Amino acid sequence: MPTEAVSPSQGIPNEGLQSNLLDVFLYLGSEWVLYLLLILSIVSVAITIERAIHFIQNRIDLESMHRALEAQLTNGDVAAAKALLESTPSHVATVALRGLNALGRGAAAVEELMSGATQVERLKMERGLAFLGTLGNNAPFVGLFGTVLGIIRAFRDLATNTIEGSSAVMAGIAEALIATAVGLLVALPAVALFNYFQRLIRTQVVASEAMTRVVLAHAKTVKD
């Protein structure tokens, strides 16, 4: 009984898919990854500038305000304390003012309201920082993806142009590695800025909690 010849493609059902993916990767190349990283870096710079302006506008001397608020509440001058907080553009002042406005509702209500206000102000301070954190964690992988695409193209060039030999591959790989370098260049500042802003936020949150203790002490004194 004659035996049918088996073509090399039989038994490799994914060969067509791999060929199509290879064509796509060769068409895309790594250049578009560089443009993507450039766009992401521009967005990160815009967020950094906006957040820096925000924190500068809301910057205060936390220690001085803490002492002033404590002194005014110790003297029972709630009106002066409210005036001080209203004239101070700060997330901490907003939290403390929320507590002073609720003094008539008891210490428990003051504590709950100030805790909620602290979380709301924290969300305001964290606006846009998720992008910086995500970019810092993933930009190297985006650059690595561009490098892989470049290496694929470099080896295909070697297969179709054997005259130049290894020099063509080395030149292509060197060009592809630029994507990884750019990815790292974008990621490192993003991580550093994300950590810096998170430190500023933690400082503001701790100051808000300290203000909560001051206002609660006054609320309990008034109740007693």
Q: How high is the pLDDT of residue 197? A: 95
Q: What is the pTM of this model?
A: 0.78
pLDDT of residue 57: 87
Query: Cα separation of 47 and 189, whole Å?
Result: 12
20 is a domain residue: no
Note the pLDDT of residue 27. 60
Structure tokens at 160: 């179709």
* 153-171 mean pLDDT: 66
In a domain, 13, yes or no: no
Count the domains in the chain. Answer: 1
Tell me, yes or no, whether 133 lies in a domain.
yes
Per the listing, tokens 């964290």 go with: 126
pLDDT in tens, 103-138: 888 888 888 999 999 999 999 999 999 999 999 999
Domain span at 158:
30-48+63-223
Sign, CA torsion 56/62/68/70: positive
CA distance 108 to 102: 10
Kindly tell me if the per-residue pLDDT of 2 is higher than 60: no
Q: Is residue 154 part of a domain?
A: yes
Residue % of the chain over a pLDDT of 70: 79
